[in-house]
Amino acid sequence: MEKTTVLITGANRGLGLKLTEEYAKLGWHVIATCRNPDKARELNNLTGHYASINIYRLEVKDSEQIKKLATQLHNQAIDILINNAGIYRSCTLGNLDKQAWLESFAVNAIAPYEITNAFLPHLKQGQQKKVVSITSKMGSIDDNTSGGSYIYRSSKTALNSVMRSLQHDLAHQNIATLTLHPGWVRTDMGGLGAWINVDESVSGMMRQIEKLNLSNSGEYLDYAGKKINW
């Protein structure tokens, strides 16, 4: 794997933290973003082991912060952009929290679009030119056999649709896209009853990211490389 630059959102915990650590281990320059760097103890600890990690403040639902960071890093080429930041909100039939639904769309679907758009000049300067968004199998309409989870499902379905459009719109700029399901992972979001650990998920996802190129751009895969129906 060529060692260049990766930008990871939501890098302060769970999958984002592990992705940051593993890319740093490989010698990559990691631009690690999170909402509150001052409270990101584990992420800050990593910088003591890997000088190649730089931490930046980014609230992904804040459009102005996205633009500001893109401007701040205007001379920085980015090879891989990983839209990892996300939130889990849910509701059942007859139990609607409209504000939570809107917030989920802002974080899970709109932010990856805005971040990708803001950092297009940086991706064009990069060598690998890859945009990856961490989604969920729960965003698959085909896989929805149980109902419920209206907020989370629909926000991830929206993200999948955004990534599908980006595949077409970015192809002529030689930028490849990947919509990636990490599996059901034992994290703060996934819970203790999940099937796989963070190490398994991240190592699998990094293999899929490494394989990504223009010829297989636009796929919806899980961490093991299995295709998921939209």
Tens of pLDDT, residue by residue over 186-217, are 555 554 555 678 999 999 999 999 999 999 99
Q: For 52-87, what is each residue's pLDDT tens digit? A: 999 999 999 999 999 999 999 999 999 999 999 999
pTM, full prediction: 0.95
pLDDT at 1 over 50: no
Domain positions in the chain? 5-87+108-137+156-222
Beta pairing class for 80-83 and 53-57: unpaired
Residue 193: predicted pLDDT? 54
Q: For 153-162, what is each residue's pLDDT tens digit? A: 999 999 999 9
Measured CA to CA in angstroms, residue 41 lies from 20, 184, 196 at distances of 14, 25, 24
Residues 97 and 168: their CA atoms lie apart, in Å, by 34
Residue 196: predicted pLDDT? 79
Give the single-character DSSP code of 162.
Answer: H
CATH topology of domain 5-87+108-137+156-222: Rossmann fold (3.40.50)
The backbone torsions φ and ψ at residue 196, rounded to the nearest 5 degrees and listed phi first, read -130, 160
Cα angle, residue 192 at apex, residues 98 and 134 outer, rounded to 5°? 55
pLDDT at 114 over 80: yes
Residue 131: predicted pLDDT? 99
Q: Which value, in Å, is the radius of gyration of the alpha carbons in the chain?
A: 17
